[in-house]
Chain A
Amino acid sequence: MICIQDLSFTYKNGTEPALREVSLTLPDGDFLGVIGPAGAGKTTLTRAIAGMIPHHYTGDYYGSVTVNGLDTVETPLDQISRLVGTVFQDVESQIISPVVEDEMLYGLENFGVPRAEIPRRLEEALGMVGIADLRERSIASLSGGQRQKVAIASILALKPQILVLDEPTGELDPRSSRQIFTLLRKLNEEQGITVIIVEQKIMLLCEFARHLAVLNEGRVMRQGEVREVLAHAEDLEAAGVNCPRVTTYSRALSARLGERQPVCVDLDEAEALTRRLMK
């Protein structure tokens, strides 16, 4: 369980707080999508959960973050990192080894995974992301999308209980983005891993996430189940966050028919709603 209470944070060289009195509670096994305009504090939030704030990035810190009961300020970063795996927004700077296999080994070795278990973990993680064939390749020879997958696999190999991903599909096309989300859902459902994902692709979030948190100017302006949050589409749009077209469609219907229609979050729902109304 992750519990964030009244968290405010200003980076050491920052003038404005990046987060303002943020409170969020995530039960184990949740799948939370985080969305919001640029500069809303999304990346800062992921850093706070992963313990990089305040251990790596220092500044004015108020409030508290606890991960599985451990206070991230008091717990050493290494201990938090065993629980929380992080995929960075800038994949280029996350990868520290020149060869895929070494990148996969790095965390496994450091966290003292038993030698006998390492080969299996490595193969499993590569297989899950679908890049087993890239194992011997040098990072320099990979495309942006392939590098993104390597970064994700190297974190999965560590088997974290909580997975924090900061725009992990930025370099990927729609098909590969979907693959990543499908994989995350599988990990979430089958292994109970808590997933926190920052993403601009609202349609994917609506389809895969259970809860949504909308950030704006360092505050959480909405949080709740996807459908609840989408019901306040006007607020979201005022903050610069769009909704899926199907949601806009169900709103347009509500306006035209003069009665409130259910909020649609995906194509199936929109189709069902239309057919029901036509009867």
Chain B
Amino acid sequence: MITLEHVSFSYANGQPSVKDVSFHLPKGEFAAILGPNGAGKTTTVRLVDGLLQPAEGRVMIDGSDLRESRVSDRARKVGFLFQNPDRQICKNTVREEILFGLRTVRPDLSEEALQARAEETLADFSFTGKEEPFSLSRGQRQRVALASILAVEPEVLILDEPTTGLDYRECCHIMDRIRKMNEEKQVTILMVCHDMEVVLDYARQALVMADGRLLACGPIRDIFRDTALMEQASVLPPQMIGLGLRLGGTFLEADTPDAMADALIASLRKGGTEK
């Protein structure tokens, strides 16, 4: 669904650049980009959405080169959730906000169809539609931004640190909703996220970046267990993976607190029978 071939890009003003990055994500993938500040993660997702044009190489979405269409035309296919929802929200009520996004991207739909879709999205997010976005909390505003993007039913969803500034509960709301889209509608997800616990809980694939280069790409658990790689990208693996690495043996496979506890109980039982 998303393909990058030898993509390079650098800003004139010294913002992080991207050097010779290639990867492919099939439809329905849920991938996260890991790496320190300045590694080029945000630059990469901007390139994927076409907000930036690569200096070299090419970016393809669903087989078509991004250079052949405009960002604004692609909004129907690719949704982008930014870190700061306040840059997207511009209407007085949640309903208008959702309708505004829909009207822009789907001028082909009739007014009734638009209304019906907005209604469906509102119900899905448990909004009444009358809420005023700017009097809601940051987490709620992020949900409004997400709702207005998902109403369009994109095939690809890009997330740039979507949970920054949110509390744990708000973070789960947002991420659960995104997971649902991924599982039920096979929406391809590419996210940048600094919280490794969130990454482990939700993503399946990891892309590791440092200094603008792609260091590795693979299943999330394998990546986290690669100690040398994590060091190189200055990423601290999630706690349960870290604990598993320290304890070794059957604990290596456990990645949640419950699985870790089960592993201990199992090893105690096994120890007991051996005695």
Contact = CB atoms under 8 A, between A and B. Distances in A.
Interface of A: 36-39, 141, 143, 145, 167, 170-176, 178, 200-203, 240-242, 244-246, 248-249, 251-253, 255-257, 267, 270-271, 274-275, 277-278
B168 A240 contact: yes
Contacts of B236: 174-175, 178
Contacts of A174: 194, 196, 234-236
7 contacts: A38-B137, A170-B164, A244-B239, A249-B240, A249-B261, A253-B264, A257-B265
Given A245-B240, A271-B247, A278-B271, A38 B264 contact: no
A268 B196 CA distance: 19
A271 B271 contact: no
A143 B38 contact: yes
A240 B262 CA distance: 26
Contact of B243 (A39, A241, A267): A267
Contacts of A270: 239, 243
Interface of B: 13-15, 36-38, 137-139, 164-170, 194-197, 234-236, 238-240, 242-243, 246-247, 251, 256-258, 260-262, 264-265, 267-268, 271
A270 B251 CA distance: 12
Consensus secondary structure, chain B interface: helix
A277 B260 CA distance: 13
Counting chain B CB atoms within 10 Å of each CB, which of A170, A178, A200, A277 scores highest?
Answer: A200
A37 B167 contact: yes
Given A240-B167, A252-B257, 16 more contacts: A143-B15, A145-B38, A170-B165, A171-B164, A174-B234, A174-B236, A178-B236, A202-B168, A245-B257, A248-B257, A253-B261, A253-B264, A256-B261, A256-B265, A267-B242, A274-B243
Contacts of A244: 239
A256 B268 CA distance: 12
Most buried by A among B169, B240, B261: B261
Q: Dominant SS at the A interface? A: helix
A198 to B, nearest CB: 11
Contacts of B166: 38, 200
Given A175-B36, A203-B239, A278-B271, A249 B247 contact: no
A170 B207 CA distance: 22
Contacts of A245: 197, 238-240, 256-257
A173 B194 contact: yes
A267 B265 CA distance: 19
A38 B13 contact: no
Contact of A38 (B139, B238, B256): B139
Contacts of B164: 170-171
A244 B195 CA distance: 12
Nearest to B263: A274
A249 B254 CA distance: 11
Nearest to A178: B236
A178 B170 CA distance: 23
A197 to B, nearest CB: 15
A110 B128 CA distance: 50
A274 B167 contact: no
B239 to A, nearest CB: 4
Contacts of B240: 245, 249
Contacts of B238: 245
A246 B37 contact: no
A255 B261 CA distance: 10
A267 B164 CA distance: 24
For A202, A241, A245, A248, the residue with the greatest tally of chain B CB atoms inside 10 Å of its CB is: A245
A70 B138 CA distance: 34
A271 B243 contact: yes
A109 B169 CA distance: 43
A175 B235 CA distance: 7
A267 B246 contact: yes
Contacts of A170: 164-165
Nearest to A253: B261
Contacts of A143: 15, 37-38
Contacts of A253: 261, 264
B200 to A, nearest CB: 9
B168 A167 contact: no
